[in-house]
Each structure stands twice: as structure tokens, then as C-alpha cells.
Amino acid sequence: MNTYIEERTIQLAKYIIDNKATVRSAAKHFGISKSTVHKDITQRLQSMNLPLSQEIRKILDENKSQRHIRGGIATRKKYKDKKKCPRA
């Protein structure tokens, strides 16, 4: 594996752990796709650093368990903001 990919994978893992970040927010922060982030932290990291991979898995599982709540909050905000704006 290329060294820059390994470095990126470790940086992603540290960022996600430090910030309890989602895959989407990490992708936005590093300017790469969500697919790349997901592959780096679920597949590549596991072969490079198993303890770090297990720590990331806990955060990903926590984010997954909360995603329906985040989605509901986003929908509520969307329609609340729509009510505030007068129709053009």
C-alpha cells in the first residue's frame, strides 16, 4: 500500500476519534469522498492498526445508532426554516 494512503488513513482515524466525527464530516474536512473515508477506516485501517480500528468501530456504531435522530432533526429544521421564508 502507498505510504500516502497509510498516512491519510491514520490521520482520518485520529480525526474521527478526537472529534467523534461522522464519515461525512471527516470526508468534508479532508476533501475526499465518503466512500474513500469509509474504505480507509473500515478495511485499510484494520490491516494496519487493529486497536485503532476497534476504537473507530465503536464510534461508527454509535453514529449509526444515532443517524435516525440526526435525520429527524435535519428534517424538522428544514421545514421550520421553510415556514419562516415568505413565498416568492
pLDDT band at 80 (very low <50, low <70, confident <90, very high): confident
Cβ pair 38, 49 in contact under 8 A: no
Distance CA 22, CA 13 (A): 11
Selected residue with higher pLDDT from 1 and 72: 72
SS3 23: helix
**Does pLDDT of 88 surpass 60?**
no
DSSP per-residue string spanning 34-68: HHHHHHIIIIIHHHH-HHHHHHHHHHHHHHHHHHH
Q: Model pTM?
A: 0.74
